Structure 1
Amino acid sequence: MDITNQTRVTEFIFLGFPGVLHLRITLFVIFLIVYLLSLMGNILIIFIVVLDSTLQTPMYIFLGNLSFLEIWYTTATVPKLLDTCLSQAVTISVSGCITQYYFFFYMGATECILLAVMAYDRYLAICSPLHYSLLMSILICLWFSAGSWIGGFTSPLLSTILISHLNFCGPQKINHFFCDSDPIFKLSCSDTFFGRGLELHM
């Protein structure tokens, strides 16, 4: 908690990458290429799973679900990363920062749950191959997928609500390329004890 400057902050400033312009442009091109390749690869996986009827099994449905998740996971942070490569300082509103924080951790929590479900699916396929089709039908697979998204949605909800009630007062600079919890807590002039404690349990 910092009480040095009590001016209310309405936006944060990402400091960006230090260095000369041609180095930042090089980083921009590299990150953009990796981002576009990631998007194309994940979209390709989704199309293949949807179009090929032989791949519409639980394992590939989970894989398509994971690819769909990865598209949104990277899109939550990479556009601001690309912006900070070109500009020395990029601004984001406090509400935009909290929204980015929520979606980043929503996708992260969903990914963790989905990977656990995929591990369980493979466990059933290996340890109970004769009963696998009964234990993991397409309907059960879809229920597990929906449960992963719902569980991921609720996981960062409380910490996001706590962060949205924090007061922020200068300095408003974030030495990062997206709104992570630690930089947000450092910029708060409110008590962050409960928010940090909750984050340790997530």
Structure 2
Amino acid sequence: MAGQVSKEEAGTVLMQAMLAAKNLRPQRDRLMQLRRRLQQLSPGEDDKAAVQELATNLFKVYYIGIEAGARSIATCLELAAENGARLALNPSFAVMPDQHLYSALLTQRLPARPTTQKEAFARVEATFYAVKLAQEHYLPRCIEHLVGDRPPLPAQAAVSGSVDLDKARTCLNHACTLVSLAVKHIDLAVVVISRFVNPEEVASLSDFTDKFAYISEDGPYPASD
């Protein structure tokens, strides 16, 4: 059918969406756990080691963990476009200031139950912007408020006197909200795109992505904390 990815090519697109979904879910869980740790901290000399550890773990999530998911989302959209999908991308997202984009993503009106490929890829696009906003703005800013230095090297930065736990909490809250939103979007997209792929191939892709989705074993995860 014109304007959508064929059944023969939909599997390659679906694989990237599945890889993203299986990457982002554990990263969301890690961020939630790190947010709980941040909520328990208070400014003071005794907390410097804990603040440094928290900043280092946040760095691992944003610089290593969700980067794999972001790449899979971008590849999913690229493959969809290359294979004939009619994408309904929102060009304003790419030029919005960070705070405006945050609000726009939270208030974006998308069909509650997407059914078409076009609607599914709108979810993939929203996933991409939510992940990139968390990765490129809110998580680095959170780390900066914790250690007084902008990433990319928080592990080498000593905690300075410019620590602001309240601002760090605000940034991490926003990042958690965005990544949670991304997980919801990509899960819905996977469900819809799967309908355009043979069930046997869907099952095979699910098994494959279970084994090869990058989630980073370098915690913390809720079960190990």
Q: Which TM class, normalised by the smaller chain length?
A: 0.3 to 0.5
TM-score of the superposed pair, with normalisation by structure 1: 0.36
Max Rg structure: 1
